[in-house]
Amino acid sequence: MASDLKVVGTTARQGVRDRSRSRTLLRPPSFEMRMMAPALLVLAALSLLPFLTLIYMSFSEVKLLGGLRFEPVGLENWQRLFTDPDVRASWVVSLIYLALTLGLEMLGGVLVALVLYRITRGRGLVFALVLLPMFLAPIIVGLLGRFMTDYTIGLYAWVLRGLGFESDVLGEGTTAMIAVVAMDAWQWTPLVVLITLAGLTAVPPPLFEAAAVDGAGYWQTLRSVVFPTIKGVLLVALLVRAMDAVRFFDIITITTNGGPADATKIIPIRLYETAFRFREIGYASVIGLVMLLFSIILANVFVGVLGRKGLTK
């Protein structure tokens, strides 16, 4: 593989290159529109309709029993959001969970990439093995985590006992949080490794030689040569991970389901239980809309990063 890497924006390519010559040839704009129409119609049905439904539900009380009914309640659900200590607590748990998983995955991913970058023999095999966790269903990752930390028969529980750690990992708030963060990190650190390695291969080797000639040490080379080159790529990695971390909640669902004592009750779990256990669908819609806002802000930053040209060359 050649080692040229680009961080490119699909939105940034405003066709400056081909505007001059191709205008006469390729400019019935309707063709592009016609190509997009079928997918956009389906997408509108699948996204706008649920979105409007969600907004409508947030101003209603939704009754499921005896036929679907919406009873308008005005701003009641919204007012409740701002005075609900439980939801606030869940947001705090969510932000802690996000900070821990993203921090661990970014740091671990970069360190692992730097190590793998040094391998020459057996690189392909090592690399393939490191990628494997990404392809597991999150639900299987959670179940496997439960199996490994099972108090009576778990391999990791046995290792921890050997190290003098006696209690049930998923049975206490702090250790349960550490465990679900570790599971998420186990599954998704490889993604950061993958992206970082792509960035590292883009550093031109002459730069290393120049740094070596200048007598720069390992850390200095990292700081002044490597990091500036891969900065943009790392930002992309962080954003992609952040957007997905907000989306998924399978691992926690199957391991702790938010427990013990709400220690791992991130927002999606709270929303799910509000809607499907307590049947407060109108209120759950408000929680959902706030989540949606959060992810839209993230997506906005992502598109902004893409639109800035010249992240790396």
Partner 1 sequence: MSETPTTLGGRSPVARVLTWVLVAIILAWTVIPLGWMLLSSVKPESAIKTATPTLVFTPTLENYARLFGAGNDITPFAVNSVIATVTATALALALGTIAGYGLAHWRGRGRKHLAFWIISTRMAPIAAVILPLFIIFRHLGLLDSVAGLILAYLSFSLPFAIWLMSAFFADVPRSIEEAALVSGASRWQAFWHVVLPTVKPGLVTTGVLCAVFSWNDYAFASSFAGPASQTLPMAAGRLITQGGVDWGQLTALGVVVTLPMIVAGLAVRRWLVTGLTLGAVTAE
Measured from the CB atom, the residue of 40 and 89 that comes closer to partner 1 is 40
Using CB under 8 A as the binding rule, the residues of this chain from 149 to 188 that contact partner 1 are 150, 152-153, 155, 158, 186
Part of the chain binding partner 1 (CB under 8 A), chosen from 78-86, 99-107, 165-173, 262-270: 262-270
CB-CB neighbours of 97 under 10 Å: 21
Using CB under 8 A as the binding rule, the residues of this chain from 96 to 115 that contact partner 1 are 112, 114-115
**How big is the site for partner 1, counted in residues (CB under 8 A)?**
137
Instruction: Report how far residue 78's alpha carbon sits from residue 59's, in angstroms, rounded to the nearest whole number.
Output: 8
Instruction: Report how far residue 183's alpha carbon sits from residue 146's, in angstroms, rounded to the nearest whole number.
Output: 10
Using the rule CB under 8 A, which residue among 1, 65, 164, 310 binds partner 1? 1
Task: Collect all residues with Cβ–Cβ distance below 8 Å to 5 and sequence separation of at least 6.
Answer: 198, 199, 201, 202, 233, 312
Using the rule CB under 8 A, which residue among 128, 174, 215, 310 binds partner 1? 128
Instruction: Report how far residue 312's alpha carbon sits from residue 6's, in angstroms, rounded to the nearest whole number.
Output: 6
Residue from 83, 82, 63 nearest 73 by CA: 63
Instruction: Report how far residue 263's alpha carbon sits from residue 269's, in angstroms, rounded to the nearest whole number.
Output: 12
Farthest CA pair distance, the chain: 79
Task: Collect all residues with Cβ–Cβ distance below 8 Å to 202 and sequence separation of at least 6.
Answer: 3, 4, 5, 229, 230, 233, 312
Residue 147 interacting with partner 1 (CB under 8 A): yes
Residue 216 interacting with partner 1 (CB under 8 A): no
Q: Reply yes or no: is the peptide bond before residue 260 cis, omega within 30 of 0.
A: yes
First to last CA, the chain: 17
Measured from the CB atom, the residue of 99 and 132 that comes closer to partner 1 is 132
Question: Are 302 and 83 contacting, i.e. CB atoms less than 8 angstroms apart?
Answer: no
- Per-residue burial over 167-201, b if 16 or more Cβ lie within 10 Å, else e, is eebbeeeebbbebbbbbbbbbbbbbbbbbbbbbbe
Measured from the CB atom, the residue of 88 and 308 that comes closer to partner 1 is 308
Using the rule CB under 8 A, which residue among 69, 119, 165, 228 binds partner 1? 119
Residue from 259, 87, 112 nearest 172 by CA: 259
Q: Which two tokens stand for residue 122?
A: 């057996």
Using CB under 8 A as the binding rule, the residues of this chain from 219 to 248 that contact partner 1 are 221-222, 226, 233, 236-237, 240, 243, 246-248
Please report how close the Cβ of residue 255 comes to partner 1 at its closest, in angstroms: 10
CA angle 181, 88, 302 (to 5 degrees): 60
Using the rule CB under 8 A, which residue among 98, 102, 170, 275 binds partner 1? 275
Using the rule CB under 8 A, which residue among 7, 93, 104, 180 binds partner 1? 7
Residue 39 interacting with partner 1 (CB under 8 A): yes
Part of the chain binding partner 1 (CB under 8 A), chosen from 33-41, 74-82, 83-91, 173-181: 33-41
Using CB under 8 A as the binding rule, the residues of this chain from 186 to 205 that contact partner 1 are 186, 190-191, 194-195, 197-202, 205
Part of the chain binding partner 1 (CB under 8 A), chosen from 80-88, 99-107, 164-172, 290-298: 290-298
Residue 257 interacting with partner 1 (CB under 8 A): no
Using the rule CB under 8 A, which residue among 33, 89, 95, 261 binds partner 1? 33
Residue 92 interacting with partner 1 (CB under 8 A): no
